[in-house]
Amino acid sequence: MKNMNSQKVLLRIVQTWNLSPKVEYRGFRCANCQNYMKKAWHHYLVTGGYKTPVHFCNKCESKFKSNSIEIKKPIIKVKKSGFISKFPKNIKKKLEKIYGNWAEKTKSIYKIFTCDDCGINMYKANHMWVIMKGILIEFHFCKNCYPKYL
């Protein structure tokens, strides 16, 4: 994986994930090693048919920064059917605003996980993959905000 630009590396990692159209309430894992974490390095993938935060533990972040991260898992083909794709206009606008801000975030930041809607700190979230304009997008919502997006 040496000398690949960061978006290509993030894309290759995300392509190893077994994405579910069902919302999952769970903790957060490192994008690469899959260890659970309470705090992580946050990056944003905004290319290749995906828009999603990508989280790294300290060990994987160090490897990512030094271009020495190894991605050994195979690419998993994702069937886009079944993912939520229709929203009321007001909800669609809120979701677009959330992921629209990700493209501007080019530097990684080490922080606790937060709800994409209200910003509350959280250790577990509703992980929700949706399709908008043919792009798979992952959102993280707390228990209070999640029902607004159903």
- The amino acid at residue 59 is K
This prediction has a pTM of: 0.92
pLDDT digits (tens, 9 = 90+) for 6-17: 999 999 999 999
Please answer whether residues 1 and 67 qualify as being in contact, where contact means their C-beta atoms are separated by less than 8 angstroms.
yes
Domain ranges of the chain: 6-149
Sign of the torsion angle spanned by Cα atoms 41, 44, 47, 48: positive
Give percent above pLDDT 70 in the chain: 97
pLDDT at residue number 39? 97
Beta-carbon count within 10 A of 67 CB: 13
Provide the token pair at 43.
Answer: 């990056």
